[in-house]
Amino acid sequence: MIKRVRLASVSLLAVLIIAGTALAQTDPGVQSGNRGTGAALSSVMSDSPSGILAFFTDGQTRFQEVESVSGGANNGLGPRFNENQCSSCHAQPAIGGTGAAVNPQFGIAGSSAAPKDATPYFLSANGPTVEARFPFFFNPNGTPNTNAPNGGVEDLFTVSGRSDAGSCSLPQPSFTLAGQGNNIIFRIPTPTFGAGLIENLDDSTLLNNQAANLRNNFGIGGTFNHNGNDGTISRFGWKAQNKSLHIFSGEAYNVEMGISNLLFTQDRPLPGEDQQQTGLPSNCLNLSGNGYPEDVSNPGASGAAVLDDVSAFSNFMRLLAPPPAGTVVLNGQQVSQQTISQGASLFSSIGCATCHNSSPGKTQPSNVTSSLSSQPVPAYSDIEIHHMGSGLADNVSQGGAGGDQFRTAPLWGLGQRIFLLHDGRTTNLNNAIEAHQSRGSEATNVEENFDSLSTQQQQAILDFLRSL
Amino acid sequence: MRWGVFFFLVLLMICAPIPLASQTSQSGGDFAPSDAVIPPGSAIPKGVILVKGAWASASDSVTPVPEGGGVNGNTFRNQYFGMTYALPKGWIEKYQGPPPSDTGRYVLAQLRPAEKLNGSLAGTMLITAQDMFFTPLPASNALQLVTYNKDNLQADYKLELATTQTKIGGRPFVFYAYWSPVAELHWYVLATEIRCHAVEIVLTSRDTKLLESLVLDMNQMGLPAEASPTGGRGGGTVPVCMANYANGPNVISRVEPVFSDRTFNPVPVRIIVDKTGKVKHIHFLSAFPNQTKAISAALTKWRFKPYIQNGQPTEVETGIMFGNAPRHMSTRADAGSVD
């Protein structure tokens, strides 16, 4: 009798567990099929105008070059850096994308690339590829000085002890103490597929789209970040702080890899070294021995090779096609197109598309290639910056964006992204959606609409998102 | 002996820990002493926005501002709009809304049941305000704004109820409803105008009976006498509000602000002009501190013709858009006019 009761209890428990599992919506996860992401725009593939395909392939090749400090064909790395190759960070699901499943930064410290460095505590073999920033400078005793905003990138590694770096010896920033003081935030690489389309949206298109968005009944406002020089709308980076792909490339080459270039002409000290101290020590300057900038154009070359690296990188990103949508597999079964369409409609109905616009408008005529001319931009972004609340705030100000404001992350290509949100804090879409609501967030009401849906409807939205 | 002293000094110099300039510079900035410990309470608190961008502020802390209200206990109160509302039983404001936008949008309260029902949220109630001086939409009052939105519903929605006049708390409101067949969600929108703001109450649920009961519950809402979809121009105990009062011959003396930094963001500002024509109160919907400072310094030098209503000088509230971004405030001649 007792045995029978026990068996019944076990069966009931099993049913409950199974039922519980079936009730919850599930992120289908990263879609592994080859969707053709990473190809060039169709007009570029047709080499129209003549020679542009060579620009694309040249940029794509340089994007994968490993940089050294001195010697060899590719030098100028450091004295501080986060990686030594663009494609190390921009790798998933193809060259030009975001961080990969295996973090290439994890093995750098202690290797010949950074022999004297220690691995920062937050890196892990299968965690997100990141850059780190300290929202505030340290006081001399190591506590965060909230009266002294920092926010700049604190490079993870130094060239200290490398065989190609002479006598340069630099300490790494105090990551561990920053972590103890909750004075550190992270950013993952933004994917660049389709970036040329975003670059070619005229301000008037974005402003008209903003006005149309204001019809919403979800309490969403939104504004733009602006370029400090000419006042026009800036659009790249997690806070839309960069105006163009050229600026984006030049800054990344300088900040992430330590390579000075035609746009950022000096080696970059850490923010505190530059703003509060005396810059880099002399034995860490001009380590390549070639003078500055380390990346310049090549007058003696011909064709695409005449370009400097930054121009080549920006050509590559500008000419990358948008990431194609694809099928979705959930628990071994392909999700029906009907469900994907339902998810798209739900996504729009509950208000997600107020910010994550399926297209904010068409591009202006392009003087680069026809695939960038008068095209819709299915980025699922309005390119505006929005208050995302205390839960996502990183207390870093960039241009006109405050510590809680972020650009609406373009969702095209989401189906094959591993790490989500600006700092890669989650790999689960459910968590990413949940994080949209917090005190001060513009997205709280929309997230609550998501919570009002049935499990089947929520599942359809997740399926749709992984189709992008 | 002298050689001995010399060698001793040299030895001291070699062995003693020398405070090299480079070591000294490693404290502060990006570096902390290797043995540093964060004392309790010195870490940055989690979930606090310390670095703000353009944000709302005011020239004094006494004059009510639109974003100044909120939910306290189980009651929503907003002194600026003269609104009070006791929340339905079991409803809360879990998260406060964002700061005002530079397009003049406020989230005054966002309410929801404290508990989910079978894992699902039964509904939400959003109370918002749109400053009619700064809306980029083609509307001069709450009725026009609501009508415009109703006429331009996104393709996912179907209209359930065309705009109709109703009363909430004894005050006139405009009401319309729409729904999403795919989401099976219904939106009931109630709107009126107070102090030249379109105040909207947006109720959302799958359950239309719940929505109907919430609308009935709204009748206990306290509202000012001016509230009306085509009125709402202040007056009584608050200033009258008037668009474009800071233009043309109303301004006797005007000084432009000098900005120390160019950030190109729109800076919508509401001011209250006192009975003598001086700026009595400045409310920045969205501004950086340097903009607040420069605009405040300029506005204190502005002089207006006193506004005369019924033969008496009267306080008047108006809007001015500063900043360099390519956006314009409402320029309709009748926008917010009291006449």
- pLDDT at res. B112: 97
Q: Is B53 close to A453, i.e. CB distance below 8 A? A: no
Which residues neighbour A401 within 8 Å (Cβ) at sequence distance 6 or greater? A225, A239, A240, A241, A385, A407, B53
Half-sphere exposure (Cβ direction) of A49: Cα atoms closer than 13 Å:
4
In percent, how much of chain A has pLDDT > 70? Answer: 95
The pLDDT tens digits for B38-70 are 999 999 999 999 999 999 999 999 999 999 999
Distance CA B277, CA B254 (A): 12
- Residue B38 inside a domain? The answer is no
Distance CA A171, CA B23 (A): 10
Q: Which two tokens stand for residue A350?
A: 């509950």
pLDDT above 90 (res A261):
yes
- Residue B106 inside a domain? The answer is yes
Q: Which two tokens stand for residue B287?
A: 């501004």
Whether residues B160 and B300 fall in one domain: no
Whether A397 has its CB under 8 Å from any CB of chain B: the answer is: yes
Chain B residue with minimal CA distance to A139? B28
Q: In chain B, positions 30-49, which contact chain A (CB-CB < 8 Å)?
A: 30-34, 36-39, 42-49
**Residue ranges making up the domain that contains B110:** 55-231
Q: Which two tokens stand for residue A86?
A: 């663009």
Chain B residue with minimal CA distance to A183? B44
The DSSP bridge pattern shows strands A385-387 and A405-407 to be antiparallel
- Residue B3 inside a domain? The answer is no
Half-sphere exposure (Cβ direction) of A327: Cα atoms closer than 13 Å:
10
- pLDDT at res. B34: 85
Radius of gyration (C-alpha) of chain B in whole angstroms? 28
- Residue B336 inside a domain? The answer is no
Q: Is the peptide bond before B17 cis (omega within 30 degrees of 0)?
A: no
For A146-214, the DSSP string reads EEEE--SEE-SEE-TT-TTSTT---PPP-HHHHHHTT--EEEPPPP-TTHHHHHT--HHHHHHHHHHHT
Which neighbouring-strand residues pair with B81? none
Given B163, B197, B231, the domain boundary residue is B231
| Confidence band of A284 (pLDDT split at 50, 70, 90) | very high
**What DSSP state is assigned to residue B88?**
P
- pLDDT at res. B28: 87
Chain A residues closer than 8 Å to B156 by CB: 345, 348-349
The rounded mean pLDDT for chain A is: 95
Whether residues B59 and B100 fall in one domain: yes
Q: Is B121 close to A135, i.e. CB distance below 8 A? A: no
Q: What is the CATH number of the domain that holds B313?
A: 3.30.2420.10
More reliable by pLDDT, B6 or A442: A442
- Residue B171 inside a domain? The answer is yes
Q: Is A140 close to B28, i.e. CB distance below 8 A? A: yes
Of B25, B51, B136, the CB nearest to A211: B136
Of A180, A397, A457, the CB nearest to B183: A457
Q: Is B47 close to A149, i.e. CB distance below 8 A? A: no
Of B99, B152, B324, the CB nearest to A215: B152
Whether residues B139 and B199 fall in one domain: yes
Q: Name the segment(s) of chain A with CATH classification 1.10.760.
A: 193-234+325-467
In tens digits, chain B (339 residues) has pLDDT values of: 355 544 444 444 444 433 333 333 467 899 999 889 999 999 999 999 999 999 999 999 999 999 999 999 999 999 999 999 999 999 999 999 999 999 999 999 999 999 998 889 999 999 999 999 999 999 999 999 999 999 999 999 999 999 999 999 999 999 999 999 999 999 999 999 999 999 999 999 999 999 999 999 999 999 999 999 999 999 999 999 999 999 999 999 999 999 988 789 999 999 999 999 999 999 999 999 999 999 999 999 999 999 999 999 999 999 999 986 545 444 433 333 333
Phi (first) and psi of residue A459, to 5 degrees? -60, -40
3 state SS of B156:
coil
- pLDDT at res. A248: 98
Whether residues B77 and B196 fall in one domain: yes
- pLDDT at res. B26: 65
In percent, how much of chain A has pLDDT > 90? Answer: 94
Å from B64 to nearest chain A CA? 20
Distance CA B104, CA A359 (A): 25
| Residue from B26, B31, B175, B186 to probe the interface with A (highest A Cβ count within 10 Å) | B31
Q: Span A193-234+325-467: which CATH code?
A: 1.10.760
Chain B residues closer than 8 Å to A438 by CB: 47, 95
Å from B198 to nearest chain A CA? 12
Distance CA A243, CA A262 (A): 16
pLDDT above 50 (res A5):
no
pLDDT above 60 (res A14):
no
Distance CA A454, CA A460 (A): 10
Whether B326 has its CB under 8 Å from any CB of chain A: the answer is: yes
Q: Is A226 close to B264, i.e. CB distance below 8 A? A: yes
Å from B110 to nearest chain A CA? 7
Q: Is A288 exposed, middle or buried (0-12, 13-18, 19+ CB in 10 A)?
A: buried
Of B27, B52, B149, the CB nearest to A215: B149
Distance CA A347, CA A344 (A): 5
pLDDT above 70 (res A16):
no
Q: Is B52 close to A403, i.e. CB distance below 8 A? A: yes
Chain A residue with minimal CA distance to B139? A215
Whether A440 has its CB under 8 Å from any CB of chain B: the answer is: yes
Q: What is the CATH number of the domain that holds B121?
A: 3.40.1000.10
Distance CA A359, CA A379 (A): 6
Whether the CB-CB separation of A51 and A59 falls below 8 Å is answered with no
pLDDT above 90 (res A221):
yes
Distance CA A340, CA A329 (A): 11
Of B26, B50, B184, the CB nearest to A395: B50
Å from A60 to nearest chain B CA? 34
Distance CA B27, CA A138 (A): 8
Whether residues B290 and B310 fall in one domain: yes
Whether residues B258 and B118 fall in one domain: no
- pLDDT at res. A237: 98
Given B185, B205, B231, the domain boundary residue is B231
3 state SS of A294:
coil
Chain B residues closer than 8 Å to A382 by CB: none
Å from B80 to nearest chain A CA? 19
Number of domains composing chain B: 2
Distance CA A252, CA A271 (A): 15
- Helices A455-467 and A337-349 sit at what angle, rounded to 10 degrees? 100
pTM: 0.92
Whether residues B168 and B109 fall in one domain: yes
- pLDDT at res. A240: 98
pLDDT above 80 (res A23):
no
Nearest Cα neighbor of A437 from B23, B303, B146, B98 is B98
Element of type H or E holding B185:
strand B185-194
Whether residues B223 and B249 fall in one domain: no
More reliable by pLDDT, A95 or A14: A95
Chain B residues closer than 8 Å to A23 by CB: 119
Q: Is B326 close to A203, i.e. CB distance below 8 A? A: yes
Whether residues B105 and B190 fall in one domain: yes
Chain B residues closer than 8 Å to A455 by CB: 119
Whether residues B183 and B59 fall in one domain: yes
User: How many A/B residue pairs have CB atoms within 8 Å?
Assistant: 261
Whether residues B308 and B200 fall in one domain: no
The pLDDT tens digits for A79-90 are 999 999 999 999
Whether residues B212 and B257 fall in one domain: no
Q: Is A438 close to B202, i.e. CB distance below 8 A? A: no
- Buried b vs exposed e over B149-166: b needs ≥16 C-beta within 10 Å? bbeeeeebbeeeeebeee
Nearest Cα neighbor of B211 from B96, B77, B88 is B88
Chain A residue with minimal CA distance to B155? A349
